């Protein structure tokens, strides 16, 4: 069993977020983690095609648009991860026979892309005012060749890492909603990364609260 040392200088990169920046979508947000930037737009609840409607819940559709080229299998896999997370936190039974569409556009990829997608998605769903049972955030952990844990890795750090893990953490109980891993890790390393992600998620949720507080500071 490998024990990887959690060094004391694990950091999250500079965060930035802007909400309601597009006029057409019902909710939109752009999320930046260092240089990685993502734009999210939400439409809903809106009319749904009869072939896709569900009688007691809203139908959630997630679309990821890469910067260059047409979407491929990689984007479909990421869409699946994000859709599962969103469906777990959205109260979709409040809008039966409706459609919710979440569109994510890559603006620049410098590592931790899936967690950036998750964060942008949550902020966009908040901006659209869709009812959710909990907020969620994404944290990416990488284990480099020496066994150190790095959170929020850049693209260069991701390339040299032995394993890469992304976790979606919920805001109420800080439990793992979704996990996506690449590379081999021991059980102990996995649990350590989950614990680190839970600690990091507290910072991200505080950032959400600060953003929303700032946004409504003039009206409330």
Partner 1 sequence: MRDTPLSNCERDFLLKAIGEKKRLDGRQTYDYRNIKIKFGTDYGCCFVDLGKTRVMAQVSCELVAPKDNRPNEGIMFFNIELSPMASPAFELGRQSELTVKLNRQLERCLRNSKCIDTESLCVVSGEKVWQIRVDVHMLNHDGNLMDAASIAAITALCHFRRPDIGIQGDEVTVYSPEERDPIPLSIYHMPICVSFSFFQEGTYLLVDPCEREERVMDGLLMIAMNKHREICSIQSSGGIMLLREQVLRCSKIASVKVSEITELITKALENDKKVRKEGGRCGFAESMPRERITALKMDETPVEMTDVTERASDIVQKVKAPPATVPSPVLPAPGMGQVGEGLQNAWGLEDEEDEEEEQEDVATMEEKRYKKGGTGDVVVISDSEEEEVVILNPETKDS
What is the binding site for partner 1 (CB under 8 A)? 3, 5-25, 28, 30, 32, 34-35, 37, 39, 41, 43, 46-47, 63, 65, 67-69, 99, 101, 103, 105, 107-108, 110, 149, 151, 187-188, 191-192, 194-196, 199-200, 203, 207, 210-211, 214-215, 217-218
Least distance to partner 1 from the beta carbon of 138, Å?
Answer: 14
Cα separation of 209 and 189, whole Å?
Answer: 30
Least distance to partner 1 from the beta carbon of 2, Å?
Answer: 12
Cβ distance to partner 1 smaller for residue 32 or 132 = 32
Least distance to partner 1 from the beta carbon of 99, Å?
Answer: 6
Cβ distance to partner 1 smaller for residue 7 or 133 = 7
Q: Kindly state the DSSP code that residue 58 receives in the 8-state scheme.
A: P
Cα separation of 33 and 79, whole Å?
Answer: 20
Cβ distance to partner 1 smaller for residue 65 or 133 = 65
92, HSE (Cβ side, Cα atoms, 13 Å): 24
Least distance to partner 1 from the beta carbon of 58, Å?
Answer: 13
Cα separation of 120 and 66, whole Å?
Answer: 15
Least distance to partner 1 from the beta carbon of 196, Å?
Answer: 6
Cβ distance to partner 1 smaller for residue 30 or 89 = 30
Cβ distance to partner 1 smaller for residue 74 or 214 = 214
Determine if the peptide bond prior to 119 is cis (ω within 30°).
Answer: no
Least distance to partner 1 from the beta carbon of 210, Å?
Answer: 6
Task: Report the SS3 class of residue 99.
Answer: strand
Using DSSP bridges, classify how beta strands 149-151 and 136-144 pair: parallel, antiparallel or unpaired: antiparallel
Cβ distance to partner 1 smaller for residue 10 or 54 = 10
Cα separation of 171 and 59, whole Å?
Answer: 23
What are the start-end ranges of the E strands in 145-192? 149-151, 161-170, 176-183
Cα separation of 220 and 98, whole Å?
Answer: 31
């Amino acid at each position: 069993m490998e024990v990887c040392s959690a060094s004391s200088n694990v950091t999250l990169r500079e965060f930035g977020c802007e909400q309601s920046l597009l006029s057409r979508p019902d909710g939109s947000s752009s999320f930046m983690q260092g240089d990685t930037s993502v734009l999210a737009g939400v439409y809903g609840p809106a009319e749904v095609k009869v072939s896709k409607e569900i009688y007691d819940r809203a139908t959630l559709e997630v679309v990821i648009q890469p910067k260059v080229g047409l979407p491929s299998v990689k984007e479909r896999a990421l869409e699946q991860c994000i859709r599962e997370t969103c469906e777990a936190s959205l109260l979709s039974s409040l809008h039966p026979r409706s459609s919710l569409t979440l569109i994510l556009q890559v603006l620049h990829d410098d590592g931790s892309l899936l967690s950036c997608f998750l964060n942008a998605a949550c902020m966009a769903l908040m901006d659209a005012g869709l009812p959710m049972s909990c907020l969620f955030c994404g944290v990416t952990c990488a284990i480099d060749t020496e066994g150190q844990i790095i959170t929020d890795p850049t693209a260069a750090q991701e390339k040299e890492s032995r394993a890469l893990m992304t976790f979606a953490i919920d805001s109420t109980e800080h439990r793992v909603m979704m996990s996506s891993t690449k590379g081999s890790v021991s059980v102990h390393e996995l649990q350590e990364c989950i614990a680190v992600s839970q600690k990091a998620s507290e910072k991200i949720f505080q950032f959400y609260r600060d953003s929303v507080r700032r946004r409504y500071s003039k009206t409330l």
